[in-house]
Structure 1
Amino acid sequence: MATYQSELAKFGEEGLEPMHPSSQCLNAQLSLCIIGIAESEIPIDVDKIMVPLKSDLLLVSPGFSSVVVRKNGQQWWKRVEVQFEDHVVIPTFPPGLSPESYTKHYDEYFSKISLDKLPETRPLWELHIIKYPTQTAAGTLVFKMHHALGDGFSIMGAIFSMLKRADNPSLPLTFPSATSAPKEIVKENIVKTSLGLVSRCFNTVFDIAHSMMHTAWYGDSPNPIRSGTPSVEYSPMHTTRVILSLDDIRKVQSKIHVSVNDVVVGMIFYGIHLYSKKVGKSLTESQKTALVVLNTRMLNGYRNLDEMLEKNLWGNKFSFIHIPMPTHSDGEKVDLKTFILEARKIIQRNRNSMAVLLNGLLLALMDKFQGSEAVSKYVYTTMNKCSVCVSNLIGPKEKLAIADHPISNIYFTVAGVPMSLIFPVISYMGKLTIGISGEKKLIDTQLLASCMNEAFKKIVEETAM
């Protein structure tokens, strides 16, 4: 195994590239890793699959062939010679087990590598190749990449660029356009926006003030989905997911005149409501807040590697907004439609605010005057004082493949988040996958997923009537 200690010991001022401040803040008190999972339809041929991975991954960004150097309170990239095999891990499980048993081994392994810290003595990424069949895949590729290398847009864009279209590898991937509400809702929003400048200013001031006070003072109390455990980012997490048909979501969207985002957010909130009832714990006793993390790039879909690097699109560009989660007492009669309409109301109100842009500006100013360490502490505290985190990415419409291995599903999660529950959402091939990563000792993620599936199945059936 090659190490990079000698490189760290002998470098001088030359060859150092400054790390972007937003990347530095994600490799300090707050240290996050993006984990992308690609499920193969056939058993993985390691030698075959390594060829395109070797040829493409290191071309993505200089960070993939650089180590982190800390000097004078700053972080820098130092280019090194990468031994690709040193970053590839192929675990060994007991032979001859059933897919159900291998799924349990995989879940435990995934939970472990989510907690493991990437060593700074080598570039901050790993590839785990799971050759054993689980209940959902014949083999699994797990890409673990530090958030300092780039945000979800960049990392997943890199993964999509390594994977090719299964039907014709020479053709580019295509991505869904940003989904929106029905035309009558959009027109209504345009009218309200043009006439509601005062309202927008008021909402913006209120949202920024609420965000800062929530982070600085009160925050959410411990509840069924937030343990309040110190350093919760080091607690074992269990990850599962809910897979929905985008066609079914659009049917619900059309029937009750909302957007796709309204349906997804409403289902997350209603799933939490049902889950709390099933575990016999009330959500009405304290405030619960969802932190929605947004990418601030004004782009419509991903770009290939050449475009991403040429147009300087790589990096970390994000902001966030606090959303109060609706709650109802156990005696109230509510269903998924109720929560979808409430989600629509909350989302429309936040569209009439510039808090997302100003939160991003606040982080930039904080970095300029206080440094990336202060930004890292602020973002850490912001996350830690919320109950739920939601993030969203758009994936390709076509089936992907790598080295003739068709990919049945692709999704992601984020490790190191100082929260008990996160929902990473991504579309792929006409499906929407809602990841659920929950603190093992607190949350039964399988039960939560079951609640969401049952609720969605019911509203789809009602929509068809």
Structure 2
Amino acid sequence: MDASNGSSSAAAPQSRPLSIRTKPRAPAAGTDEWTTNDSTAEKEPVSPTARLMEPVYIVVTIGLGSPLDLPVFTTHMASGLPRYSRFQSIQVTEDGNLRWARVKVKVEDHIVVPTLDPVAVAVAANPDQSVEDYVASLFTLPMDRSRPLWEFHFLNFPTSEATSTAIIRVHHSLGDGMSLMTLLMSSASSAADPTRLPAMPKQPERTGAIYAPRRPRSSGAMPFLGWVCSYFVLAWNTMVDVAAFIATMMFLRDPHTLFKRSDDTVFNPPRRFVHRSLSLDDVKFIKNAINCTVNDVLVGATSAALSRYYFRKSGNSNSDKIRLRSVLPVNLRSTTSLQTNVNMIESGKSDDVAWGNQLGYIILPFHLAMHDDPLAYIRKAKKTLDRKKSSLEVVFTCKMSELFLKMFGVKAGAFIFRRMFANTTISFTSMIGPAEQTNWCGHPVVFIAPSVYGVPQALIMHYQSYCSTIKVILSVDKEIFPDYSQLLDDFAVSFRCIKDAASKL
């Protein structure tokens, strides 16, 4: 099944776990095509970061609280998505340079509605598994590069969490997580008041870069001296981190563990995408009890879950300590950019939004150990993240990738990108979502679960907040993690243990 084939009916590949037929649905009259004049549209160059994302795709599973209404969905998409120029563009080569060229887009070519095969009874028996099987099969299906690389898949049957399910697949070159969240939120509305955009969480006190030392609030020689010394610490930490990043690209490789393939030649292994809902209020409770940040809690709880899984599977003693590293993509925009960009789109200034990929990278270590005190994982995570905040690593890694790409070409840039992921063990990200119940294209949203495929790590972890919940989403190599559901259970148990320990403080 391929959404880009344009046929009204296609047989599903034999490798697909779920037996289906696909049938693109026609959009409402007058909204089936965006008529961009390609001859006059300015062709922007494809950014270096976007070129490095060639093998990577974003997959977002959205649970809906009502049955699917395709005409309503199609009308909203046809009127809203043209505000995002990348969804109207393909990559073309002109004079040896890769550029974005706008094309005419038919919405019907990007909508896929699987129809259950009459002999398939898997959905009735286990609808959650059927959705999981369907999402897992997407990586086997190539996308038509003569069209913009995005598509919507709709599964119109109930699961344990949602009444119906929408799955969005987007090539990562079109944008990073912040870009796509901006697009989704600009197409959504508050469930309480459909005339306004969904409310976002309160903005943090810090609106600048996380690595910028804060000016002293009190006057005097000692506070000023401490502020000046913080810049020397910033410079030292940056040199150490950049040297470690270069070493990672060249030779520094994580040892083989239960979380890593011994053969790193498999760049895009078969994957399963699974998720579990956790309480965002519990995360905030832990944050306030220990006086740390939400990210400190998420990183610490992840260390606890991975430790629980590792020591149970390996049978090693509790005294063993394992150190592995993760790649942490960091949005280089300001912390206020999501709400600002959504407001700009709403006011008709979508061309001024910072679209695309604006990412730097941090090599974040995870320490695996069995602690008697569950809060030790949070305190260790806070110490590690505080150290990383006092570094320009994220800026230098972004600029180094762009520099190598410009100086040595796409192959050299792709080599760096591949080595960064192949020599580490995990990818780890977190995203902020709406703080209230949201309607997307006329349908209530129950949950949002983003993930990716196209990188060699056996384990990719995402956290996505929405309303009062936070989703932990795992993209796992099914050969390395045949018991991935047990790993999800370890996350739930670890959060509960940490919360119980925090409540005793």
TM-score by length of 1: 0.88
SS at match of 1:369: helix
Name segments (4+ residues, structure 1) moved above 4 Å.
11-16, 94-100, 178-181, 186-194, 281-287
Q: In 2, are the aligned partners of 1:67 and 1:120 still within 8 Å (CA)?
A: yes
Give the whole-Å Cα distance in 2 for the aligned partners of 1:218 and 1:379. 14
CA offset at residue 23 of structure 1? 4.7
Give the whole-Å Cα distance in 1 for the aligned partners of 2:473 and 2:70. 27
Paired letter, 1:234: N
1:100-130: CA deviation from partner (whole Å, max 9, x where unpaired): 6121121111011134332212111111011
In the alignment, is residue 129 of structure 1 matched against residue 154 of structure 2?
A: yes
Give the whole-Å Cα distance in 1 for the aligned partners of 2:63 and 2:246. 40
Matches within 5 A, 1:57-456: 57-61=81-85, 63-94=86-117, 101-179=126-204, 194-280=228-314, 287-300=323-336, 301-302=338-339, 303-304=341-342, 305-306=345-346, 309-328=350-369, 333-443=371-481, 444-456=483-495
1:56-76: CA deviation from partner (whole Å, max 9, x where unpaired): 113212x21222223454322
Identity %: 23
Structure 2 CA distance for partners of 1:453 and 1:17, relative to 1, 3 Å: same
Give the whole-Å Cα distance in 2 for the aligned partners of 1:229 and 1:71. 38
Paired letter, 1:150: G
SS at match of 2:105: coil
Q: In 2, are the aligned partners of 1:232 and 1:420 still within 8 Å (CA)?
A: no
Question: What's the RMSD between the two structures over aligned residues?
Answer: 2.8
SS at match of 2:272: strand
Give the whole-Å Cα distance in 2 for the aligned partners of 1:374 and 1:75. 16
In the alignment, is residue 22 of structure 1 matched against residue 22 of structure 2?
A: no
In the alignment, is residue 43 of structure 1 matched against residue 67 of structure 2?
A: yes
CA offset at residue 189 of structure 1? 10
Identify the range of structure 1 (158-167 vs 281-290) with the bigger mean alpha-carbon deviation.
281-290
CA offset at residue 175 of structure 1? 1.7
Structure 2 CA distance for partners of 1:15 and 1:22, relative to 1, 3 Å: same
Paired letter, 1:434: V
Give the whole-Å Cα distance in 2 for the aligned partners of 1:252 and 1:39. 27
Structure 2 CA distance for partners of 1:89 and 1:16, relative to 1, 3 Å: same
Aligned pairs, how many?
A: 448
Paired letter, 1:211: F
Give the whole-Å Cα distance in 2 for the aligned partners of 1:13 and 1:372. 27
Structure 2 CA distance for partners of 1:316 and 1:403, relative to 1, 3 Å: closer
Paired letter, 2:67: P
Give the whole-Å Cα distance in 1 for the aligned partners of 2:335 and 2:290. 28
Higher RCO by CA contacts (8 Å cutoff, separation 6 or greater): 1
Structure 2 CA distance for partners of 1:15 and 1:180, relative to 1, 3 Å: closer
Paired letter, 2:501: E
Give the whole-Å Cα distance in 2 for the aligned partners of 1:439 and 1:260. 27
Give the whole-Å Cα distance in 2 for the aligned partners of 1:121 and 1:94. 30
CA offset at residue 338 of structure 1? 1.1
Structure 2 CA distance for partners of 1:82 and 1:12, relative to 1, 3 Å: closer
Give the whole-Å Cα distance in 2 for the aligned partners of 1:383 and 1:51. 40
Identify the range of structure 1 (168-177 vs 276-285) with the bigger mean alpha-carbon deviation.
276-285
Tell me which residue corresponds to 1:32: 56
SS at match of 1:272: helix
Give the whole-Å Cα distance in 2 for the aligned partners of 1:380 and 1:268. 24
Identify the range of structure 1 (195-204 vs 414-423) with the bigger mean alpha-carbon deviation.
195-204
Give the whole-Å Cα distance in 1 for the aligned partners of 2:275 and 2:87. 29
Q: In 1, are the aligned partners of 2:362 and 2:394 still within 8 Å (CA)?
A: yes
Give the whole-Å Cα distance in 1 for the aligned partners of 2:227 and 2:400. 24
CA offset at residue 286 of structure 1? 6.1
Structure 2 CA distance for partners of 1:72 and 1:93, relative to 1, 3 Å: same
Q: In 1, are the aligned partners of 2:304 and 2:368 still within 8 Å (CA)?
A: no
Give the whole-Å Cα distance in 2 for the aligned partners of 1:69 and 1:358. 29
1:38-82: CA deviation from partner (whole Å, max 9, x where unpaired): 111122122222211121113212x21222223454322232221
Paired letter, 1:242: R
CA offset at residue 438 of structure 1? 0.8
Q: In 2, are the aligned partners of 1:34 and 1:145 still within 8 Å (CA)?
A: yes
1:239-270: CA deviation from partner (whole Å, max 9, x where unpaired): 11232222211211122222211110001111
Q: In 1, are the aligned partners of 2:50 and 2:172 still within 8 Å (CA)?
A: no
Structure 2 CA distance for partners of 1:366 and 1:193, relative to 1, 3 Å: farther
1:117-173: CA deviation from partner (whole Å, max 9, x where unpaired): 322121111110111212221101111111111111111211121122111121122
Give the whole-Å Cα distance in 2 for the aligned partners of 1:282 and 1:293. 31
Tell me which residue corresponds to 2:12: none
Structure 2 CA distance for partners of 1:204 and 1:281, relative to 1, 3 Å: farther
Give the whole-Å Cα distance in 1 for the aligned partners of 2:181 and 2:79. 17
Give the whole-Å Cα distance in 1 for the aligned partners of 2:302 and 2:331. 20
Q: In 2, are the aligned partners of 1:22 and 1:316 still within 8 Å (CA)?
A: no
Identify the range of structure 1 (369-378 vs 203-212) with the bigger mean alpha-carbon deviation.
369-378
- Segments of structure 2 that go 5 or more residues without pairing to the other structure are 8-36, 207-211, 217-222
Give the whole-Å Cα distance in 2 for the aligned partners of 1:202 and 1:35. 38
Give the whole-Å Cα distance in 2 for the aligned partners of 1:187 and 1:13. 48
